[in-house]
Amino acid sequence: MSAMMIIAETLRLILRRFDATDLDGFAALMANPDVMRFSLGAYSREQSLSLLERLIADNDANRPTLYAAMHRADGKLIGYCGFLRQKVGSKDELEIGYRFHPDYWNQGIATEAAMAVRDYAFDRLGLDHLVSFIHPNNHASRRVTEKIGMRLETEITFRGFPTQVFGISRVVQTRN
Ligand SMILES: CC(C)(COP(=O)(O)OP(=O)(O)OC[C@H]1O[C@@H](n2cnc3c(N)ncnc32)[C@H](O)[C@@H]1OP(=O)(O)O)[C@@H](O)C(=O)NCCC(=O)NCCS
């Protein structure tokens, strides 16, 4: 794997850019209704292909996007974590987004990935603020945002649901 591809390495994961060879693994993941809970429902292979093409185009244009989460222990693509472009009111924001295969839930994996992506945004991309949109019934996802240091900032309507917007700002280091 070329260094260009890698976004972050954590204890259990490698986060790397998607490429065209990921289609089978990505489509299998996105076809799983549990992975796609609190969203638009399971994706067809065609829908996954068109999303994958968008993610690759983002990489080619050097835009922050969603990244493949590879499980180090078994080498499998087990989810994704990265950035989605959103608006809160009139303000452009980057959202941290993640989905993981249910076989890997409740082991702290999403938190590990989201922390790495948060640090990448602040330390490498120089962003000042990140958000996370939480569906009212998505307790696990809300817990992940809390564990990475996000706090409730506002409430909006997103895709027809009342949605909590959690956020975190970069801590600016000051020298005396
Ligand atoms: C949300 C999701 C990414 C969490 O992944 P994960 O790897 O299980 O997350 P973690 O293990 O890091 O943390 C999950 C936390 O939620 C808690 N949790 C899980 N299910 C819960 C529930 N039904 N009610 C309350 N808390 C719950 C866990 O106990 C854990 O908190 P803790 O560490 O304080 O015990 C995963 O469930 C998922 O992919 N869901 C489907 C897609 C999705 O909802 N994505 C996010 C919205 S776009």
Please tell me the distance between residue 131's alpha carbon and the centre of ligand 1 in angstroms: 17
SS (H, E, C) 70-116: EECCCCCEEEEEEEEEEEECCEEEEEEEEEECHHHCCCCHHHHHHHH
Model confidence pLDDT, tens digit, residues 75-97: 999 999 999 999 999 999 999 99
Q: From 144, 164, 165, give the residue whose CB has the most ligand 1 atoms within 8 Å, as the site to mutate.
A: 144
Residue 155 lies in a domain: yes
Residue 175 lies in a domain: no
CATH, residue 91: 3.40.630.30
Residue 174 lies in a domain: no
Please give the share of the chain, as a percent, with pLDDT higher than 70: 96
Domain span including residue 122 = 6-169
Number of domains in the chain: 1
At residue 121, does pLDDT exceed 70? Answer: yes
Residue 62 lies in a domain: yes
Model confidence pLDDT, tens digit, residues 25-74: 999 999 999 999 988 899 999 999 999 999 999 999 999 999 999 999 99
Residue 176 lies in a domain: no
Model confidence pLDDT, tens digit, residues 123-135: 999 999 999 999 9
Which tokens belong to 87? 């608006």
Residue 1 lies in a domain: no
Q: From 141, 161, 163, give the residue whose CB has the most ligand 1 atoms within 8 Å, as the site to mutate.
A: 141
Residue 19 lies in a domain: yes
30 Cβ below 6 A of ligand 1: no
Strands 13-16 and 129-134: unpaired
